[in-house]
């Protein structure tokens, strides 16, 4: 299985072209879209969505992850093996949250299956898609290039514990306008955001309609929400406190 | 085949995660997206799109339908067999238009393949996806839980026939801005909406450009449209009359 | 393989219905979405995206391309064989850029597998999807109807070379706000758009942040862009000059 996570969007033919390149190598592979609608250049959101998704996939899944503002520049295109999965994309932080331990990576900037002529603006098609397809075929990354050390580069805000308070950050919003935070679920009394007290609820519809709440989201992190509304439209605060 | 109809959107990894859970059970199943862009909580639109789609699918298709504002609350997660199809989702009205006759349903709130720990906010992943995959594998629903009576709950506006007039309602708009109505196609002279007379046309481009019209839509219901324009931007009326 | 390029969007069930019709004929076909988000009626953009994509697909791929403002009118539904590919859709210009040489086409307006009753508003479901599935099954188009001559109809602006200058047009914008032009990549000194000089860069992130630039895009045509921004928001000019 090959899973795709990109900022290509679905308005243009970029995703279809990537898939056609993959299918030209591996006729019978299953391709699953995680999402193609990461905001252009929002590497942190891509990294969070990848770490939230990958464990549900079957072993040996190849994750091709391309949120790549530096395409064509000197940032390295890499392929990595980590636990029982493969990861293909630019070394720009997109894999930082998955690689809690040291992964095994190779530099694929000159791999033997690159499409020629190679575009400076669409490495998804020319470098990453054929690499992903061949990894899927051979269940290995060694043939793609020399070993390289993975460098973490993402600046992920960390929650701070002070006395009976956790200071957390809002990382981004999902399609429902829920605010995804950087604080893993734990027992809390309530939250404070912009001096307003926010109650904890077990699930969305437990909160009164149009009332902001905080709950344990499906990623295992706290989320602010408004029952049948959008928290994103209620507040643009980037930080908050949790009272334990 | 498993068909998905949800309000998850495609900006977040929710759909990809659901598919990965399904593929982890059933490696070779075909998964078809009906749509994931039902407006959050618009159960009526989901119900209409399901009834308009399901008959085109092969027999034994499993429809996983999750437009679920009450996720985590006491509304029942169910699986049903109806005619030659299977349906999985919350008992909140989403299946009301399909189930014209009594379906055979089971309560799957404690089914044996639920993912643990079970989130209160993402039953699509934890309850419905594994249920759908196992139904696909076993072609049965009995192993998932005890029998339950299906309760209709959707308030669907019905057209009213008076003398030579039908009073109808606009249910929602599609991507082209066409207004989908609750009146099945029949022979009419013309329509009246907000005191304006609207001509009937056989097809969209038969109407002069930028002129509103009414036609028999592909779902078998009347639709208001504007040739190469958007009826949604022309009128927000919720009701109209058809002159027979 | 069957590849889909339409203006159906993904908010409504149209794409899912098309796929279910295809799968009902061909259970094991691979279906790839090129895009369904061509702006309604933007045939030129559809034609450009098709010509930019199709060569990456495996031989014998069937391309079902439906951007069809004239659905139900007298424009012909056709199926064509061109090089080693099949193309199915309306004869309204959508295939103009692919068919540089004369294709072999048949009129499929009365083909033997049309769904009945046939809608006037959704030929994708009733005419094109079953035609595509049967072409995929039989690797031929002759059984679908009588031979017909393909007529080009799209008015594609052509670049004009004057002395050391090329006058070009902006055709449309992609998801990143990049302006796709009608000028194939060649060696230039710089560009002028609305009297402003625009530098050439080898790749996006070579340009200073928020600075407009021109580069050779992945389709092989020049593209105007803004590094980590949107050129579409910077300028709505439709024409420009390239200085050789």
What is the band of A41 on the pLDDT scale with cuts at 50, 70, 90? Answer: confident
pLDDT digits (tens, 9 = 90+) for A163-218: 999 999 999 999 999 999 999 999 999 999 999 999 999 999 999 999 999 999 99
Query: Cα angle vertex A93, ends A91, A94, to 5°?
Result: 90
> Is the Cβ pair A40, C176 closer than 8 Å?
yes
Nearby residues of B71 by Cβ (< 8 Å), 6 or more positions away: A203, A204, A205, B90, B120, B121, B122, B123
Q: Which residue of C has its CA nearest to A125?
A: C218
Q: What is the pLDDT of residue A136?
A: 98
Q: What is the pLDDT of residue A200?
A: 98
Which residue is it, tokens 């995680």? A34
> Is the Cβ pair A20, C174 closer than 8 Å?
no
**Which chain B residues are closer than 8 Å to C69 by Cβ?**
204-205, 227-228
Q: What is the pLDDT of residue B72?
A: 82
Q: Give the number of residues written for chain B.
A: 244
Task: Report whether pLDDT(C206) > 90.
Answer: yes
Task: Report whether pLDDT(C36) > 90.
Answer: yes
Cα dihedral value C54, C55, C58, C60, nearest 10: 70
Is residue A157 within 8 A of residue A167, CB to CB? The reply is no
Interhelix angle A14-25/A129-138, rounded to 10 degrees, is 30
Percent of chain A with pLDDT over 70: 100
Count the helices and strands in chain C (H runs, E runs). Answer: 5, 15
Structure-token pair, residue B149: 């009576």
Q: What is the pLDDT of residue B74?
A: 81
> Is the Cβ pair C120, B215 closer than 8 Å?
yes
Among the partner-chain residues A32, A205, A217, the one whose CB lies closest to the CB of B70 is A205
Mean pLDDT of C116-139: 96
The H or E element containing residue B233 is helix B231-234
What is the Cα–Cα distance from B127 to B75, expressed in whole angstroms? 13
Among the partner-chain residues B17, B23, B71, the one whose CB lies closest to the CB of A53 is B17
Classify C2-148 by CATH class. Answer: alpha beta
Q: Selecting from 3.30.9.10, 2.60.40.1180, 3.10.20.30, 2.40.30.90, what CATH number does the domain C160-243 have?
A: 2.40.30.90
What is the band of C71 on the pLDDT scale with cuts at 50, 70, 90? Answer: confident
CA distance C180 to chain B (A): 24
Q: What is the pLDDT of residue B117?
A: 92
CA distance A10 to chain C (A): 6
Domain boundaries, chain B: 2-148, 160-243
**Which chain C residues are closer than 8 Å to A12 by Cβ?**
35, 49, 174-175
Q: Which residue of C has its CA nearest to A32?
A: C32
Q: What is the pLDDT of residue B41?
A: 83
Query: Cα angle vertex A230, ends A227, A232, to 5°?
Result: 135
pLDDT digits (tens, 9 = 90+) for C158-198: 999 999 999 999 999 999 999 999 999 999 999 999 999 99
Indicate which of A4, A115, A117, A121 best probes the interface with C, i.e. most C CBs within 10 Å of its own CB: A121
Q: Which residue of C has its CA nearest to A25?
A: C58
Nearby residues of A138 by Cβ (< 8 Å), 6 or more positions away: none
> Is the Cβ pair A20, C3 closer than 8 Å?
yes
**Which chain C residues are closer than 8 Å to B227 by Cβ?**
69
Would you say the ipTM is above 0.90?
Answer: yes
Domains A2-148 and A160-243 in one fold: no
pLDDT by position in tens, chain B (length 244): 999 999 999 999 999 999 999 999 999 899 999 999 999 889 999 999 999 999 999 999 999 999 998 888 888 999 999 999 999 999 999 999 999 999 999 999 999 999 999 999 999 999 999 999 999 999 999 999 999 999 999 999 999 999 999 999 999 999 999 999 999 999 999 999 999 999 999 999 999 999 999 999 999 999 999 998 999 999 999 999 999 9
Nearby residues of A185 by Cβ (< 8 Å), 6 or more positions away: A216, A217, A220, A221, A222
Interhelix angle A43-53/B14-25, rounded to 10 degrees, is 20
Chain C residues at the A interface, defined by Cβ less than 8 Å, are: 1, 3, 5, 10, 30, 32-37, 49, 52-53, 56-58, 61, 174-176, 202-206, 215-218, 223, 227-228
CA distance C126 to chain B (A): 9
Is residue B223 within 8 A of residue B214, CB to CB? The reply is yes
What is the band of C70 on the pLDDT scale with cuts at 50, 70, 90? Answer: confident
Q: What is the pLDDT of residue C123?
A: 96
Name all chains with 3 or more CB-CB pairs below 8 Å to chain B: A, C
What is the band of C143 on the pLDDT scale with cuts at 50, 70, 90? Answer: very high
């Amino acid at each position: 299985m090959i899973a795709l996570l990109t900022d290509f969007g679905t308005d243009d033919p970029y995703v279809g072209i990537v898939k056609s390149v993959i299918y030209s190598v591996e006729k019978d592979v299953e391709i699953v879209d995680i999402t193609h609608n990461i905001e252009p250049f929002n590497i942190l959101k891509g990294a969070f969505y990848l770490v939230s998704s990958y464990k549900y996939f079957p072993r040996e899944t190849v994750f091709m992850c391309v949120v790549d503002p530096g395409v064509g520049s000197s940032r390295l295109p890499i392929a990595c093996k980590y636990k029982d999965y493969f990861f293909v994309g630019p070394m720009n932080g997109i894999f930082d949250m998955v690689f809690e331990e040291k992964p095994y990576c190779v530099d694929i900037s000159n791999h033997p299956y690159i499409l020629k002529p190679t575009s400076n603006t669409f490495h998804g098609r020319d470098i990453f898609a054929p690499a992903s397809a061949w990894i899927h075929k051979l269940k290995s990354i060694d043939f793609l290039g020399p070993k390289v050390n993975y460098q973490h580069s993402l600046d992920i805000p960390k929650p701070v514990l002070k006395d009976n308070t956790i200071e957390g950050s809002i990382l981004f919003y999902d399609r429902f306008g829920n605010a995804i935070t950087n604080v893993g679920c734990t027992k809390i009394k309530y939250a404070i955001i912009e001096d307003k007290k926010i109650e904890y609820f077990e699930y969305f519809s437990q909160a009164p309609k149009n009332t902001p709440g905080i709950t344990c989201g499906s990623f295992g992190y706290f989320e602010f929400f408004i029952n049948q509304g959008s928290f994103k439209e209620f507040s643009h605060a980037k930080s908050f406190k949790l009272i334990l």
